[in-house]
Structure 1
Amino acid sequence: MPVHPLQWVRFESVTCLNPLLEASLLVVDPQAWFAARPWLTANPRSLARAESLDARALDALLNTREAFDGVARMIGLGGGTAIDTAKYLAWRTGLPLILVPSALTVDAPFTDSAAVRRDGRIHYTGQVTPEAIIVDADLIRTAPAHLNRGGVGDILSIHTALHDWRLAHARTGEPYDAAIAQQSAALLERLREHSREIYAVSDAGVRLLTELFCEEVYLCLQAGSSRPEEGSEHHLLYTLEYLTGRAYLHGAAVTLCALVMAHLQGNAPDELRTLADACGVEYRAILAEVGEDALVAAVLRAPDYAREEGLPYTALTETPITPARAREAVAWVATPLPPQQLQ
């Protein structure tokens, strides 16, 4: 039976790390290290800066043998890059692992594999179970609020992913678990009911998003795949990052792609956008960074990318997407909701 990741979560201060640091390799991003430093009175045995999920960068860290001298434990402190770097290193070395997200931008702290980029394409590698996942609301609130609000992208993606899963079942006979799909959809309802707490990044909001991530990951483990929360919206994001050679803030970027795909699916896109706006996800900032033309190009390229990577059947492979349809979907996302729909 899969283990529920909430089992590893401890809602407490990062000061609990102080007795452990002297024998630990601390993998950090600089902003998180600076933010946590007032609480961390001890120094780590070794310090590694997480800068990229490129396989060559990760293996270069792994081969820096002096960084591992006297190290008894791996601690990942930061956002998604630091978390996945620590998971990868712990998997490759067998060292015990503690994860400390400095912002809830992505579900990575609660999954058991590490995201690794090879030749510009994301692959999920390895399997590692942490000793603990430390969720400190005070530390998390040191990050800009929009980072934590954007984390709901890996919950909002359930909206489009379930549509794709049902479609694949109907078209290809792929196994579909209606009970798991129903439980996944219930996470969206729970998010809708408490969107104000997410927007406020309150203690209750931090706990809620942590629990939603854990529930989503557990449902995927039960399903034996990421079908409950990953479909065409993630595939579109992978394509976009491959084409541009850039990594975007995951939560907001996957929300942007979910909105585009919900429009293309004919799958209650206004409902999804209302919820994203209520949570304060700044997906239009990602669109401004990407550019509408680049996103349209990614939509048109995504079906081929999905086939090349052997990704599951989704709306991207259902019918050809014309340039006109792709541009219409992107233009819809770029246009703000009327004021009455924001209430």
Structure 2
Amino acid sequence: MPLLARMVGTPLAIDIGPGAIEALAPLLADRRISSGGHVAVAVGPGQGEAIAAVLRPQLANAEIIPVQGGSVEAAMDLSRGLRSGFYDALVGIGGGRTIDVAKYAASLAGLPMVAVATSLAHDGLASPVASLTEGGRKMSFGVQMPIAVVVDLDYVRRSAPEMRRSGIGDAVSNLSAIDDWRLAERERGETVDGLAVTFARTGAMAIIDRSDSIDDDRFLYALADALVLSGLAMAVAGSSRPCSGADHEILHAIDHLFPGSANHGELAGMAALFTCHLRDDADTAAHLDACLAHHGLPRVPADVGLTPGQFAAAVHHAPSTRPDRYTILEHLGLDEREVRRRVDAYVGAVDR
């Protein structure tokens, strides 16, 4: 009998909701990740430390390890510590940088990793990709996806509003990435995975036209689901392709040329809006623009402290950040003068 289905790798458990942290120890035991709580717990600054204090009575055999920053060096330091001990798993608690460090360190050490997210800033919480800095540049590394994902909405609500807004920008930018992937299919014969596209698009569409806000429970559930679906899309595709196109090339260029302008998701949303204008996709641009405006996300370069000239420089530099990726930027092949003309037209259309 022919095999008419395929196996899709996913986390063993995904727990999203208020009070989810309180169920972490039972989750580790019930899923046979660590029956005795012999785990290393990597905690980031801020809420990660507060959560670690809550978990200590539950996980008496755990070792708490503070993690600072989001660099390859921090991940390698953590990995060396993991290899020198005896742990069933690594639990990473914190925001995106801490979880990415934990994912990379766990992969190096050959340990399963549990992601406990204190914010919903980007789609890395369930993805097989770690975004880390190396030599002053942001790089993406393939890693094992988390064996379990926990999102406690009580802690998410306490995160800075810009962190929750950032997750929105990252989720809806999937629409731009999907268009770029389809373009690469048409122009270069690149294989597109329809299931990965379905996951990525479903996450974006669940967010883009909502009228509620980052302070509403229903919205936070939807946002968490969207970011998890994005991670699953990348796992199915075997790369970040369904969630990272020209928009992410542009944001990485901004991070390199003008570091500190804004956070990841805020830049992703704005860059995705720009790429819609490059494609003359008025319908998607209208929905995306309305979503960004509704949630107070950046829409034009001035919103993140950049001039049109600086943004144009980032757009021109963007293809060099992912030379293996074909997007609308590579397709158009715009020179500096034409990039600046397109940026000015985009700013004029949006900022009015």
Same fold (TM over 0.5): yes
Query: Please, which of 307, 315, 339 is the counterpart of residue 326 of structure 1?
Result: 339
Query: 1:81 offset after TM fit, Å?
Result: 0.6
1:71-90 alignment runs, 5 A limit: 71-90=87-106
**2:80 corresponds to 1:63:** yes
Are the aligned partners of 1:8 and 1:130 in contact in 2 as well (CA < 8 Å)? no
1:11-90 alignment runs, 5 A limit: 11=16, 12-17=19-24, 23-36=38-51, 39-40=54-55, 42=57, 45-53=63-71, 55-64=72-81, 69=85, 71-90=87-106
1:1-343 alignment runs, 5 A limit: 1-5=7-11, 7-11=12-16, 12-17=19-24, 23-36=38-51, 39-40=54-55, 42=57, 45-53=63-71, 55-64=72-81, 69=85, 71-177=87-193, 181=197, 184-196=200-212, 199-244=213-258, 248-268=262-282, 269-282=285-298, 287-307=303-323, 310=324, 312-331=325-344, 332-333=346-347
Structure 1 residues 45 and 153: alpha-carbon distance in aligned structure 2, compared to 1, 3 A threshold:
same
Aligned partner of residue 200 in structure 1, secondary structure: coil
**1:341 matched to which residue of 2?**
none
For residues 90 and 188 of structure 1, the distance between their equivalents in structure 2, rounded to whole angstroms, comes to 29
Are the aligned partners of 2:273 and 2:288 in contact in 1 as well (CA < 8 Å)? yes
1:170-214 deviation digits (Å, cap 9, x = unpaired):
221222356754664444332234341xx2332222221122122
Aligned partner of residue 66 in structure 2, secondary structure: strand
Counterpart of 1:31 in structure 2: which amino acid? G
For residues 286 and 73 of structure 1, the distance between their equivalents in structure 2, rounded to whole angstroms, comes to 44
Q: How many residues are paired up?
A: 330
Counterpart of 1:16 in structure 2: which amino acid? A
Query: 1:219 offset after TM fit, Å?
Result: 3.2
For residues 93 and 102 of structure 1, the distance between their equivalents in structure 2, rounded to whole angstroms, comes to 24
Q: Which runs of 5+ in 1 are unaligned?
A: 339-343
CA RMSD of aligned residues (A): 3.2
For residues 246 and 126 of structure 1, the distance between their equivalents in structure 2, rounded to whole angstroms, comes to 25
Structure 1 residues 143 and 305: alpha-carbon distance in aligned structure 2, compared to 1, 3 A threshold:
closer
Query: 1:321 offset after TM fit, Å?
Result: 2.2
Are the aligned partners of 2:176 and 2:275 in contact in 1 as well (CA < 8 Å)? yes
Of 74-83 and 181-190, deviating more is: 181-190
Query: 1:68 offset after TM fit, Å?
Result: 5.2
